[in-house]
Amino acid sequence: MNWTDERVELLKKLWAEGLSASQIAAQLGGVSRNAVIGKVHRLKLSGRGRATAAPARQKKAASSGTGTAKPAARAASTPRHVTSSVGATALQVQFDAEPVARSYVRPEADNVVVPISRHLQLVELTERTCKWPNGDPLSEDFHFCGNDAGESGPYCRYHARLAFQPASERRRSR
C-alpha cells in the first residue's frame, strides 16, 4: 500500500479529528497503526490531543544471541473494501450513559471503525463470533457482526472497543 495523495489527506483529516492511530489504520485499510504513526511523524503532524508525552527515547536493544522469543509472524493484511466516504467521515460514537443499558437499538449507531461485518444470523453464532447486533431485532435484516471475537469476550476487537473503551479513554484523558 502506498501513500497516495488521497490517503495522506484522509490520514491528516482523521488525525486532526482525534481518531487514534489504530482507528485510522483500520479506516485506511492495509496499513498498521505503526505505519500511520510513522507517517504522521514524517508529516510532522505530531502533537495533537495529549496521549503520552515525549520525555526522551532510548535506543533499541540489539537483540543478539540469547533467543528470547521470536515475533516471527506478525502482520494483518486484511483484504477489505473500505467504504471511502470522503467528505463526511467523522463521528465517533459518544456515550453519555451505559453502553448496553438501552433496550432498543439505535438505527445508525455504528459508523465507527469496524471494517466489515459478516451479517450472521442468530443461529450462526458460535462461541467465538462477535455478537454485536446490527439493525432492528424485530426486522428481518437483523444480524450480527460475526467477526472473530477470540475468547476474551462476546465481541470482536472493534466492537469490544465500541462497547468498553470509551470509559477508559475518558479515564486516560483525565
Partner DNA sequence: CCCTGATTCGC
Partner DNA sequence: GCGAATCAGG
- Whole-number minimum distance, CB 2 to DNA, in Å? 6
Q: Which is nearer to DNA, 120 or 162 (CB)?
A: 162
Any contact of residue 52 with DNA (CB under 7 A)? yes
- Whole-number minimum distance, CB 10 to DNA, in Å? 13
Among 10, 23, 120, 143, interactor with DNA by CB under 7 A = 23
Among 54, 88, 101, 138, interactor with DNA by CB under 7 A = 54
The grid cell for 154 is 462476546
Among 16, 51, 82, 91, interactor with DNA by CB under 7 A = 51
Residues with Cβ within 8 Å of residue 29, at least 6 apart in sequence: 1, 78, 80, 82, 115
The grid cell for 14 is 482523521
Cα distance from N-terminal residue to C-terminal residue, the chain? 36
Any contact of residue 82 with DNA (CB under 7 A)? no
Any contact of residue 71 with DNA (CB under 7 A)? yes
H-helix or E-strand spanning residue 133: strand 133-134
Q: Which is nearer to DNA, 52 or 103 (CB)?
A: 52
Among 5, 58, 94, 107, interactor with DNA by CB under 7 A = 58
Backbone angles phi, psi at 65, to 5 degrees: 75, -110
Q: Which is nearer to DNA, 56 or 138 (CB)?
A: 56
Any contact of residue 128 with DNA (CB under 7 A)? no
Could you tell me which of 80, 87, 92, 84 has the C-alpha nearest to residue 19? 92
Residues with Cβ within 8 Å of residue 162, at least 6 apart in sequence: 93, 99, 110, 112, 114, 132, 155
The grid cell for 149 is 471475537
Site residues (vs DNA, CB under 7 A)? 1-3, 19-23, 31-35, 37-42, 46-47, 51-55, 57-63, 71, 74-75, 152, 157, 161, 165, 168, 171-172, 174
